[in-house]
Structure 1
Amino acid sequence: MKHLAWAMLAATTALHPVAALAQDQQPAPVVGTAPETAPAATQDDGAANDIIVTANRREQTVLSVPIAISAVGGAALATKGIVNSANLSDAVPNLQVSSPYGNTQPNFSLRGISVANEYNSNQASPIGVYIDDVYMASRSSHGMGLFDLDRVEVLRGPQGTLFGRNTTGGAINFITRGPSLNGNEGYAEVGYGNYNSWTAQGAIETTMVEDQLGLRIAGNYVRSDGLFENVYPGGRDPNRQNTLQGRATLRINPGSGPLDIKIKIYGGRDHGTQAAIHGLLSARSGLDFFQVNENRIGLNRTDAYGISANIRYELSPNLSFTSITSRDGGSQYIQQAADGSPFDILDVWWQSKFGQFSEEARFNYSAKGLNLVGGVFYGWDRVVTDNDFGIGSVFGPGASGGFFQHYRQERRSYAVFAQGDYEIAPRLTLTLGARYTWDRLQYRDGYAFLYAGYVDTVKTPLATTVPCAGQPGTCAYNPDATFATNGRNNALTGRASLSYQFDNGPLIYASYNRGYRSGAFNGGSYTSSSGINFVDPERVNAYEIGTKGRFIDNALTLSAAGFYYDYSKQQLQDLRPGPVGILVNAPKSEVYGAEVESNLRLGRALTINAAVGYLHAKYKELILQGANLAGNDLPFAPRWTVQGGVDLKLFDTGSSKLVFSPNVVYFSRQFFTPLNETNAPGSAQQNAELQQRAYAKVNATAAWTIGRFTIKGFVNNLLDRKTYVYGLDLRGAGFPYPFLTPAAPRTFGGAVRVAF
């Protein structure tokens, strides 16, 4: 426990900013402040501007929840230039977002817990992602553009009670804006930036029957040229954007009575080009960092759609019932040139279709000194995968081949849960919660074969590799042979915490949480059915102490937390010759650290916001590729993360105002693989290449509001820093190079918005 005490000390001393002042008669819409829909408050009424969050499945202000939570209002997302889920790390401490596929399938890492080096589409994220309290099972649906949101809630630490499913590291809940049932309003915005980037978004809300019936429709469009230049003659540029999304929410509150129904439908697509890749070193000769020389830049096509119904019925002033039903689906088709060269060395076409259904029914009870929530959950999801791995000249000069892989995975999850908050003494609250989960998994219709040809040419099957118990290529081709297996596990998770709310003062708390991530099949085995294994679930025992509150006459909002994790059986890939990845469990890891977030007001003209995260995340036991990795850092776990910014009101005449909002984000060194700088015995790979050294990025926005009109300008990555977000070394599997995914260059532009 000495690590927990040390972490808390760091949390309370790492950041102690000075007072700041309100902007436009209310705190700036940053972490822990009001959503843009909240009414304006007086300068001294800062407490009224806390974001209302639902982390405990009931409405509370963010400063009254004894959980490490970052709540970012819709206006703050625009202020910080956060336009998609992959940008969230610019606003939340100890959060990393990375992916070899760009924005298409982001990998979230909270306090060092992530999918690590597992990139297959059948794997669940250990950071549960929710949209309006609906769990999104497929990682392909996580790369959404952020538009017309009320807020984003990022819950750090295991959420094994009220969220439950696959939330080992935490949960991210995107809360969209819905009808208020009061009047008509909306907005429209159009923007243009470098790389011929066009953006448009808007929303319109109408109230058909006051306080009873309303509809809100919102949309989002982004299109741009590639953010990287491809010097290959006639080749596509990577990181091209082409996004279109829409959403409609109908709210019905018959007779303004106890029944409140929200029905939401949405659909969207992202049809850009693949992320840039730095691969074969000889192909990078003479190239700038933001250039590639690639003959097969592929297309990324992701589609998602769904419908949900949130029904709430107030049975009495103390008791309510909520049902959330959702049906979602979509597809992903990613053509990825994985060699970063003008040669056909490795090209992968990842294709999957996904669907899911979920139902959560719960009761909320509230009385003096007691709050209870309990219910049941059922979730079903399916992914059908067809992957094509093209390997150039695998059989000799000019004789290309590869592997084709198909399987269908289905998961069913059942759970019962309950949590209660009881005031055992004035302002002293005890929280106890538990959740029991049953997970059942099926792997069906699995087959794979070795072929002659290439990914976009006629393929001639040569040998069945799945099912095949022997060496790749030793089993005769059998088009009727399939492989199937099952997996199952149960888990008891829960929460216990004690919190104390000082009279008109801060909240302090101490908690224990147990988290769980279901066992999983290895979706990366296509050379032998012996590699299609089912690994154990992840588990984490988390201890946390924290404080949050307002100080200096409400001018300073501060939250701090220190934590210690006993983390076991992280699921990750062991890359082996074949080439194939084998899913394994990392026996033991240790994670501890601290976070501080603050918002400081200085009169009506200046607001300062800052956040600092410290993280120590290391493996205690792990062997990959024959190398002992005990003591290595977990991937995507920088020791330090720092975010800071100001909102400076240059003038305010009442009918016109100009606000300038620069910010800086800093990340210390992080590794992209559990091997860190350890080289596997007998391999030519140099794992020290697979890391990103410490860096800082500067962003800025400016907004000039004149009545109903706002003119905005922005710049992201002002200094044009050259950084990587992902890396993988394939030399351990027989390929002669690693590949690295670079982050975007400097982007800038402007937009005009009108509210009506």
Structure 2
Amino acid sequence: MTRMPTMLHTGAALAALIAAAPAFAQDVPAAAETTTAADAGSGEIVVVARRREERLLDVPIAVTALSGNDLAKQQAIDLSGVQGTIPNVNMVQGRGSASNANIFIRGVGQPDALQTFDPAVGVYVDGVYMSRIQGALFNLFDVERVEVLRGPQGTLYGKNTIGGAVNVVSKKPNLSTLTAAGSATYGRFDQILLNGYVSAPLVTDKVALSIAGVWDKRDGLVTDPLTGRKYNDRDTVAGRAILRARPTETLELIAAGDYTRQRTAATLGYATATLTNINLLTGASINVKPGYPLGRYDYRTSTSLKPGQGQRLDHWGGSLTANLELNDIFSLSSITAYRRLKPDYYIDFDATELQVADAFVGVRQRQFSQELQFKVDTGKLNAVAGLYYLREHITSHQESYDDNYLRLGAVPVTFTRYIDDDQLTHSYAAFGQATYDFTDQLALTAGLRYTKEKKRYFRTTYTVLAGAATAPFVFPNSLPAPFNADDTATFDAWTPSATLSFKPTPDTLLYGSASKGFKSGGFNGRVNGLGDVTQVINGVTTVVPNFAPETVWTYEVGAKGSFLDRRVSISADVFRSDYKDFQARVGGGTTGVAGGSFPVVNAGKLRIWGVEAELAVRPTRQWNIRANLGYLNAKYLEFNDSRRAPAFSCNPTGNAITCRPAFTPPITYSLGSDYAIPLGEMGSVTVGGDMRFVDKHFLSVDNRAGLKEPGYYLFNAFVQFDAAGGRYYVRGGVKNITKTLYRTDGQEFSSVGNIQTVYYGDPRTWSVTAGFRF
């Protein structure tokens, strides 16, 4: 009953949007690049969601496009800045890291940064897939737009992604005109943000070069009351250079290189449950209390990490894109890319001054990808056929420091675990999608993809207990025969898609679609003993050395339209997803002196359905109104991990009202507006702001009370002065005006010391920016 007012409110809002459908549409009359904050332009948003330039209105996909101007209005510095502004999309900073991206779309995602898990939502930068969620929280310093595609993607994109795709499109060098932009920001917590961009033709109409850079530094938000040291800071330097050449009318070459460097203190969460340790003499768990007590969070928490034990990340890569027009019908594209990722993180999992579970994680990742596309455009037929190859080699060295976890009677036992692992992945795919226009109004799109992935995994781990090293556990060598030679797994799948679209008028679109998504299986990257890969199946103890793939079928109907000279617009869709073999890292139980067990099981079947609507209104040239609404109904049809011995559960308390999928807030909505006040020859002043709501949701598969966000509102506002001509501006902004405390992510290792840690979003912040553009 307590949900009834919220549901009635949401239903009324949704009904209003649907009732307005004949008069609204999705693509607001705003250009991708805007000359001033007061004038959003009069052009239409053009996207490349289907690997060709199209009006957003003409794309029969649930996709949201945010221009550089939109991102500035939302005061977004990195991808997490759009959290709460896209229906049914959760996009936050990942647990325990300054650069990890935790992205869920329509209840499908993968928050675990472990290298043996593939992301469920693909992040692409200029067509290049990023294999890891580490380093994926990109700063938005030279972005033309961000496209967020909801639902499975695979028949158009090089790497199959089961939940959706985030497509970051950089500004491309202008072949004929010199352009430049820059800004300097100062804000609360001594924030300093410097952005710069310049594009210059080297050979007019033939060759151009652009260079962009950012320096983002801010003091820590979190204070350790026991030491006074600051944590959760920002310190990023990043740059990108793009060389664009058009040697002939039919050939375009784009070479790009980027580098990101981060040096920060640790990212601390907050413990929400009483920690425990284990008495090795009795096997009993005993509560332990840190010096800083649990209670209402106030951006203070303690840690056992020492000075210098922070986070370092180096992430760089290069790509070469070639586009060749063979004739008026056929064209070829090639995207070749190489990337390296090198994060070194110290993480305090228990978020106290005790060493119940602290860790060092050093990762070394390299990836090479090659994509070839063959495109056909006959007018009635538009088609893309492609081949894709990805080679990823990732290694890690980990050390877990747990000196307050075990004890002999009253005597603490020092305990350190050392881990080295190595995974090599080869991914191959062939994909294609074709759209045939039967008439100017009716079109059919069909696509098919075949994916094959081969993974090889090796791991060795041992512990030093009370100064004595244990015998190492080696995967797969320590498993019983024949599994001791089973270090390789291969997964493949056919994933089709089909869409029927109808345009009653040139500026309205109706569509229905069905598509299948696939996420590869893999190996448990936390296997420390035989118990982590053992299940009891039909009463027989069985070794299961790897987990199976996930699949999802998504069915969707939607509508888009643009009316009143593109001053009012709307898009809306209804979808249902049947999600099978959900890969869950569940918690509970113990395995020997090493402590907790960390199984990964294909535990669940989910049914997810929802509604999404986006509205934009431009009553006058100076006034913009935008709103979106997402409703998500996600539940397990099955969560069956009883084959494990001992059994684990997403419902550890036995309360029948829990066991809910994580990161699936039932309701999300936002409302934003900005109004430009002309000042004659002086220029203009724009006043704007937005409100965002994210409903209650769990922050981990294990639905414990402390790992839950009860729902929150955020309020943000800005005012901007643009000088006449739009070349110079000054902006002041405030985020989280009401000082809302809200949780963004959770860390659950309840099988080790009852660890249940949450991470919080930023407190109220303010900033002042001065910038130029020409």
CA contact (8 A) 2:399 2:416 kept: yes
Match of 2:327 among 316, 320, 337: 316
1:211 & 1:274 partners in 2: Cα distance?
48
SS of 2:80's partner is helix
Task: State the partner residue of 1:336.
Answer: 347
1:31 & 1:748 partners in 2: Cα distance?
31
2:37 & 2:46 partners in 1: Cα distance?
15
1:539 aligns with 2:551: yes
Task: State the partner residue of 2:234.
Answer: 241
2:325 & 2:35 partners in 1: Cα distance?
26
Per-residue Cα deviation, 1:525-551 (whole angstroms, up to 9, x for no partner): 234485383211111111000011112
Most deviating of 241-250 and 551-560: 551-560
Task: State the partner residue of 1:666.
Answer: 693
1:512 & 1:32 partners in 2: Cα distance?
27
Match of 1:461 among 461, 469, 491: 469
Identify if the C-alpha distance between structure 1 residues 639 and 382 changes in structure 2 by more than 3 Å, giving closer, same or farther.
Answer: same
Deviation at 1:704, TM superposition (A): 0.8
Match of 2:247 among 246, 254, 268: 254
Most deviating of 536-545 and 597-606: 597-606
Task: State the partner residue of 2:730.
Answer: 711
1:724 aligns with 2:739: no
2:19 & 2:69 partners in 1: Cα distance?
23
1:592 & 1:664 partners in 2: Cα distance?
25
Match of 2:85 among 85, 91, 94: 91
Deviation at 1:33, TM superposition (A): 5.1
Task: State the partner residue of 2:522.
Answer: 520
1:171 & 1:33 partners in 2: Cα distance?
24
2:170 & 2:506 partners in 1: Cα distance?
31
Following superposition of structure 1 onto structure 2, how do residues 52-67 of structure 1 map, counting pairs within 5 Å? 52-67=46-61
Identify if the C-alpha distance between structure 1 residues 388 and 527 changes in structure 2 by more than 3 Å, giving closer, same or farther.
Answer: farther
1:609 aligns with 2:626: yes
1:273 & 1:429 partners in 2: Cα distance?
54
SS of 1:78's partner is helix
1:548 & 1:641 partners in 2: Cα distance?
20
Identify if the C-alpha distance between structure 1 residues 113 and 11 changes in structure 2 by more than 3 Å, giving closer, same or farther.
Answer: farther
Amino acid of the structure 1 residue aligned with 2:189: Y
2:465 & 2:770 partners in 1: Cα distance?
54
Amino acid of the structure 2 residue aligned with 1:34: A
Task: State the partner residue of 1:680.
Answer: none
1:627 & 1:575 partners in 2: Cα distance?
7
Deviation at 1:602, TM superposition (A): 1.2
1:635 & 1:164 partners in 2: Cα distance?
28
Following superposition of structure 1 onto structure 2, how do residues 299-698 of structure 1 map, counting pairs within 5 Å? 299-393=310-404, 394-396=406-408, 397-444=411-458, 446-452=459-465, 461-467=469-475, 485-528=487-530, 531=533, 533-576=545-588, 577=590, 578-623=595-640, 625-627=647-649, 632-653=659-680, 655-676=682-703, 687-698=704-715
CA contact (8 A) 2:635 2:661 kept: yes
Identify if the C-alpha distance between structure 1 residues 74 and 92 changes in structure 2 by more than 3 Å, giving closer, same or farther.
Answer: same
Identify if the C-alpha distance between structure 1 residues 468 and 328 changes in structure 2 by more than 3 Å, giving closer, same or farther.
Answer: closer
Deviation at 1:166, TM superposition (A): 3.9
Per-residue Cα deviation, 1:380-420 (whole angstroms, up to 9, x for no partner): 11110111111114254343112111111111111111111
Task: State the partner residue of 1:741.
Answer: 759
CA contact (8 A) 1:451 1:463 kept: no
CA contact (8 A) 1:14 1:596 kept: no
Per-residue Cα deviation, 1:366-387 (whole angstroms, up to 9, x for no partner): 1121111112111111110111
Identify if the C-alpha distance between structure 1 residues 166 and 126 changes in structure 2 by more than 3 Å, giving closer, same or farther.
Answer: farther
1:623 & 1:506 partners in 2: Cα distance?
45
1:337 & 1:696 partners in 2: Cα distance?
28
Structure 2 alignment gaps of length 5 or more = 1-9, 275-288, 534-543, 642-646
Amino acid of the structure 2 residue aligned with 1:752: A
2:604 & 2:709 partners in 1: Cα distance?
26
CA contact (8 A) 1:72 1:153 kept: yes
Question: TM-score by structure 1 length?
Answer: 0.89
Most deviating of 51-60 and 158-167: 158-167
CA contact (8 A) 2:38 2:685 kept: no
Amino acid of the structure 1 residue aligned with 2:747: L
2:565 & 2:38 partners in 1: Cα distance?
13
CA contact (8 A) 1:32 1:72 kept: no
Amino acid of the structure 2 residue aligned with 1:101: G
Per-residue Cα deviation, 1:217-237 (whole angstroms, up to 9, x for no partner): 000111111011221225x31
Per-residue Cα deviation, 1:130-181 (whole angstroms, up to 9, x for no partner): 0001111122131221111010010000112112634111111100111120
1:101 aligns with 2:96: yes
Amino acid of the structure 2 residue aligned with 1:387: Q
Match of 1:265 among 221, 240, 257: 257
Amino acid of the structure 2 residue aligned with 1:294: T
Structure 1 alignment gaps of length 5 or more = 1-7, 22-26, 454-458, 472-481, 677-686
Task: State the partner residue of 2:211.
Answer: 217
1:468 & 1:55 partners in 2: Cα distance?
42
Deviation at 1:516, TM superposition (A): 0.6
Per-residue Cα deviation, 1:458-515 (whole angstroms, up to 9, x for no partner): x7533313359989xxxxxxxxxx9861111111112101001122331000001111
Deviation at 1:342, TM superposition (A): 2.0
Deviation at 1:32, TM superposition (A): 5.1
Identify if the C-alpha distance between structure 1 residues 191 and 465 changes in structure 2 by more than 3 Å, giving closer, same or farther.
Answer: same
SS of 1:316's partner is coil
2:77 & 2:317 partners in 1: Cα distance?
21
Task: State the partner residue of 2:226.
Answer: 232
CA contact (8 A) 1:378 1:412 kept: yes
CA contact (8 A) 1:12 1:560 kept: no
Per-residue Cα deviation, 1:185-205 (whole angstroms, up to 9, x for no partner): 101211111111111011111
Task: State the partner residue of 1:750.
Answer: 768
Identify if the C-alpha distance between structure 1 residues 443 and 469 changes in structure 2 by more than 3 Å, giving closer, same or farther.
Answer: closer
SS of 2:197's partner is strand
Deviation at 1:669, TM superposition (A): 0.5
Most deviating of 570-579 and 620-629: 620-629
Following superposition of structure 1 onto structure 2, how do residues 15-54 of structure 1 map, counting pairs within 5 Å? 15=17, 34-37=30-33, 49-54=43-48
1:389 & 1:466 partners in 2: Cα distance?
17
Deviation at 1:588, TM superposition (A): 1.1
Most deviating of 647-656 and 149-158: 647-656
1:123 & 1:628 partners in 2: Cα distance?
19
1:384 & 1:534 partners in 2: Cα distance?
18
Identify if the C-alpha distance between structure 1 residues 322 and 41 changes in structure 2 by more than 3 Å, giving closer, same or farther.
Answer: farther
Deviation at 1:651, TM superposition (A): 3.0
How many residue pairs get matched? 709
2:600 & 2:20 partners in 1: Cα distance?
49
SS of 2:763's partner is coil
SS of 1:694's partner is strand
Following superposition of structure 1 onto structure 2, how do residues 268-283 of structure 1 map, counting pairs within 5 Å? 268-279=260-271, 282-283=289-290
2:38 & 2:401 partners in 1: Cα distance?
63
SS of 2:660's partner is coil
SS of 1:77's partner is helix
Amino acid of the structure 2 residue aligned with 1:728: Q
